Amino acid sequence: MLETNPFLMLSQTIPVIVMQGFILAMFALILLGTIVQMIHHKNITYFFNNAKKAKLQATRELGTVEKAKILTKTTVYDIGTTSELGFGKRRLAHVLGMYGTIIFWVSSVLLVFFYTGADKTSSSLWSLLWHVGAILTCVGGYWFWFFLRVDVSAEAHPWYRIIKADLFVLALLACSTFGLAWSYTQFNSQIGLSFFFLMLFVTSNLVLFGGVYWSKFAHMFYKPGAAIQKNLAEADGSRDNLPPPADAPEQFGLGIKREEPKHY
């Protein structure tokens, strides 16, 4: 099953052009939702104004090579490994979910556009990656949802408490879960269940990509920009209006280190 392209089997009943159109529609929903959210929340205005302030307060000018090094380091380390979460279970869960989702989405696009159709042969590698990506997303996402959610454990809320901010992670988990269930039932010729899980898979995708404006989906675009701006500000001396580091070492006692963190 893991090396079987579920979209190729689906193409026997649904035209490939319909599947390709659906993916393009999801891209359009992402673009539309992100633009509307940027206009409403004025994210771009904030970033531009912050960049102007930083430029005026900079104590040194960064060269092209130094900027390139900062961008590379930020992309590979800070963004690529979610370093802001520190070392621990929460960071590992986010990394599993992040890379699982990327693999799942990329392989979905490649399978539908390049390996699905009457005149095309399937790819066992990308089919395997599609399933592996969905599994990694489920592992990281369910681990985060049931065991690592900050607001639930720290504020004594039940695990099933759902707010608008949870729309992204729940829709993402639904896509991966129903996608795997659809692939499994379709592979085993369980026609009724296969159709049922396919409808749930389609619906969860509509919720995920159609709910960009209301969910944390667009944060995937904002956070890299914020991380890059922060590192550039530290390098050029502007430091986002923060005071310079003290010459003397920090001596505040044990503070929060008196006990191991339980929720973060």
Whether residue 49 lies inside any domain: the answer is yes
Domain range enclosing 87: 6-57+67-234
User: What pTM was computed for the model?
Assistant: 0.79
Q: How high is the pLDDT of residue 105?
A: 94
Cα dihedral across residues 217, 218, 224, 229: positive or negative: negative
Whether residue 255 lies inside any domain: the answer is no
Report residues of the chain scoring pLDDT below 70. Answer: 43-44, 46-47, 51, 54-56, 58, 84-87, 150-156, 159, 221, 236-264
**pLDDT tens profile 67-82:** 888 888 888 777 777 7
- Name the domain count of the chain: 1
Quick one: three-class SS letters along 133-182? Answer: HHHHHHHHHHHHHHHHCHHHHHCCCCCCCCCHHHHHHHHHHHHHHHHHHH
Whether residue 241 lies inside any domain: the answer is no
Whether residue 250 lies inside any domain: the answer is no
Whether residue 239 lies inside any domain: the answer is no
**pLDDT tens profile 23-48:** 999 999 988 888 887 777 776 676 67
Q: How high is the pLDDT of residue 261?
A: 58
Whether residue 246 lies inside any domain: the answer is no
Whether residue 106 lies inside any domain: the answer is yes
